[in-house]
């Protein structure tokens, strides 16, 4: 008599609500998530069920499972072709495949959760910097509303503004786009994001999936008291290898005119939120359009300060771009009071000057950063290209060591208390 087929709980991603933000793939410590131009999928024989990817997912699309015989697990090719998740197999279907159903508790989702925390190099720096990022918000953050509008039920917003916010004629053309929701409720907080659904279809004739953009305006609107928000969007004209491409959503957004309408889903994000308690300090580290959530946080603090309603702590910004001309919002940043925010610019392609990155500036300001690291009221936010993540974490580690702090002890505290947030792409 043949033994019953071994069952597994296969981890799968719902393609209908996934916004392709790459958070799961960036977070996975074992490289079990991959993607093509259409779908993000989980490689069944690589996934160790550690659950590290589940809390950071902004939509919950990754928190899906299917009970299947191990020998008949859905392949990567199967999953890449999905437009929706397959229905769970019934007991009769499992039996027809030679399997004996088991209680879900017999399949452990978190069997190796501790492996994420212990995946470190010899000097205590995590191999996967993303694993150090908090998945909970600061204790004093306001309540975030999420997933109010899905792919099947988007909300329509009207474009009420679209201006370029870096120097005209430079590469990395970046726009500040304002969307108004009229009478439709769309509550947001600083640090949240939305999904934009571009019109038309892709090369396979399928509707374009939503693209995620961080909100660049504070909770009470780009224009205070209005039901609107803003985005910071770079026009994508080449891929990371320098090959010419035309980003579907970015070019669509950058070309919008006042009065045009767009389809929006979300909002997303319940952890990359700013603290609201008095004396809380915020250290913001960003590159390019990663400045969007930092602009939102800064503007909310500025409005509170202006109204006399907030006894604020320190704001410190490390902002990187290739050149001053490419840096978004350079002009407005110059107008902010020096006693309100401590701004540090890093330019990596200035003619005749050495390359400088945000982590270099952090080290130069190491004494000030260390003082903030020692303060339990300090919160760190990192947003920008994925390539900056490791350098920033290493800089924080080195600054901590030079100040006599144990990074191995401090890093878990920052994560546990929602004080170090990483959002890179």
Which tens digit of pLDDT belongs to each residue from 340-352? 999 999 999 998 8
pLDDT for residue 273 is more than 50: yes
* 385 shares a domain with 335: yes
The answer to whether 148 and 263 have CB atoms below 8 angstroms apart is no
- Between residues 29 and 163, which one has the greater pLDDT? 163
* 295 shares a domain with 247: no
* 376 shares a domain with 310: yes
Closest by Cα among 363, 359, 347, 417 to 391? 359
Active site residue 387: no
* 385 shares a domain with 241: no
Which residue do the tokens 């697990």 mark? 73
* 297 shares a domain with 251: no
Active site residue 423: yes
Q: Which of 213, 329, 357, 381 is catalytic?
A: 213
3-state secondary structure of 211: strand
Confidence class of residue 97 from pLDDT cuts 50, 70 and 90?
A: confident
Terminal CA-CA length for the chain: 52
Q: What is the mean pLDDT of residues 57-68?
A: 89
Confidence class of residue 386 from pLDDT cuts 50, 70 and 90?
A: confident
Closest by Cα among 10, 91, 3, 69 to 45? 10
* 45 shares a domain with 186: no
pLDDT on residue 100: 61
Per-residue pLDDT tens over the stretch 259-272: 999 999 999 999 99
Which residue do the tokens 């009970």 mark? 67
Per-residue pLDDT tens over the stretch 215-226: 999 999 999 999
* 288 shares a domain with 242: no
* 420 shares a domain with 295: yes
pLDDT for residue 106 is more than 70: no
Q: What is the mean pLDDT of residues 289-311?
A: 93
Confidence class of residue 1 from pLDDT cuts 50, 70 and 90?
A: very low
3-state secondary structure of 190: coil
Confidence class of residue 128 from pLDDT cuts 50, 70 and 90?
A: low
pLDDT on residue 38: 84
Percent of the chain with pLDDT strictly greater than 70: 92
* 332 shares a domain with 232: no
Strand order in the sheet with 211-214: 211-214, 193-197, 261-268, 155-164, 174-180, 228-234
The whole-angstrom distance between residue 286's C-alpha and the CA centroid of its chain comes to: 12
Active site residue 402: no
pLDDT on residue 421: 96
* 208 shares a domain with 71: no
Q: What is the mean pLDDT of residues 23-30?
A: 87
Q: Is residue 123 assigned to a domain?
A: no
Q: Find the farthest-apart pair of alpha carbons in the chain and give their distance in angstroms, rounded.
A: 80
Domain with 29, as residue range(s), is: 7-118
Active site residue 383: yes
Distance CA(55)–CA(420), nearest Å, equals: 15
Q: Is residue 1 assigned to a domain?
A: no
Q: Is residue 221 assigned to a domain?
A: yes
Q: Is residue 148 assigned to a domain?
A: no
Confidence class of residue 120 from pLDDT cuts 50, 70 and 90?
A: very low
Q: What is the mean pLDDT of residues 22-40?
A: 89
How high does pLDDT run on average in the chain?
A: 89
Using the 8-state DSSP alphabet, how is residue 87 labeled?
P
Confidence class of residue 115 from pLDDT cuts 50, 70 and 90?
A: very low
The CATH number of the domain holding residue 33 is 3.30.70.20
Q: Which of 131, 193, 214, 280 is catalytic?
A: 214
* 292 shares a domain with 386: yes
Give the least confident one: 9-18, 211-220, 400-409. 9-18
Give the total number of structural domains in the chain.
3
* 174 shares a domain with 242: yes
pLDDT on residue 250: 97
pLDDT for residue 404 is more than 90: yes
Q: Is residue 149 assigned to a domain?
A: no
CA separation (Å) from 18 to 21, 66, 201? Answer: 8, 17, 17
Q: Is residue 180 assigned to a domain?
A: yes
Q: What is the pTM of this model?
A: 0.86
Query: Torsion over CA of 156, 59, 413 and 345, rounded to 10 degrees?
Result: -40
Q: Which of 74, 145, 226, 425 is catalytic?
A: 425
Closest by Cα among 15, 70, 79, 13 to 45? 70
């Amino acid at each position: 008599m043949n033994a019953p087929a071994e069952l597994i709980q296969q981890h799968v991603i719902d393609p209908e609500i996934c916004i392709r933000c790459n958070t799961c793939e960036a977070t996975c410590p074992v490289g079990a998530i991959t993607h093509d131009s259409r779908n993000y999928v989980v490689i069944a024989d690589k996934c160790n069920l550690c659950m590290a990817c589940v809390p950071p997912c902004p939509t919950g699309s990754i928190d899906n499972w299917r009970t299947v015989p191990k020998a008949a697990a859905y392949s990567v090719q199967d999953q890449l072709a999905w437009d929706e998740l397959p229905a769970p197999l019934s007991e009769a279907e499992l039996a027809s495949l030679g399997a004996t159903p088991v209680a879900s508790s017999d399949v452990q989702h978190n069997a190796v959760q501790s492996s994420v925390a212990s995946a470190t190099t010899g000097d205590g720096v995590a191999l996967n910097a993303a694993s150090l990022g908090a998945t909970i918000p600061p204790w004093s953050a306001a309540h975030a509303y999420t997933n109010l509008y899905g792919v099947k039920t988007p909300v329509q917003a009207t474009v009420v503004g679209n201006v370029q916010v870096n120097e005209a004629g430079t590469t990395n053309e970046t726009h500040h786009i304002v969307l108004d929701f009229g009478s439709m409720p769309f509550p947001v907080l600083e640090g949240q994001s939305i999904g934009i659904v571009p019109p038309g279809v892709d090369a396979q004739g399928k509707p374009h999936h939503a693209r995620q953009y961080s909100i660049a305006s504070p909770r009470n609107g780009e224009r205070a008291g209005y039901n609107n928000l803003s985005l910071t969007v770079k026009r994508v004209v080449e891929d990371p290898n320098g090959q010419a491409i035309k980003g579907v959503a970015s070019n669509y957004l950058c070309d919008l005119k006042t009065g045009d309408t767009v389809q929006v889903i979300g909002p997303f994000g319940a952890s990359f939120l700013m603290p609201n308690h008095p004396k809380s300090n915020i250290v913001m580290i960003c590159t390019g359009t990663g400045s969007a959530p930092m602009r939102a946080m800064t503007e909310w603090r500025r409005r509170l300060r202006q109204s006399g309603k907030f006894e604020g702590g320190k704001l410190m910004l490390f902002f990187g771009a290739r050149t001053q001309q490419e840096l978004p919002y350079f002009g407005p940043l110059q107008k902010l009071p020096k006693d309100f925010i401590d701004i540090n610019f890093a330019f990596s392609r200035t003619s005749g000057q050495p390359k400088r990155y945000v982590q270099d500036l952090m080290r130069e300001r190491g004494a000030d950063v260390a003082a903030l690291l020692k303060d339990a009221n300090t919160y760190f936010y990192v947003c920008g290209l994925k390539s900056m993540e490791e350098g920033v974490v290493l800089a924080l580690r080195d600054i901590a060591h030079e100040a006599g702090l144990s990074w191995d002890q401090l890093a878990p505290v920052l994560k546990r208390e929602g004080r170090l947030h990483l959002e890179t792409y």
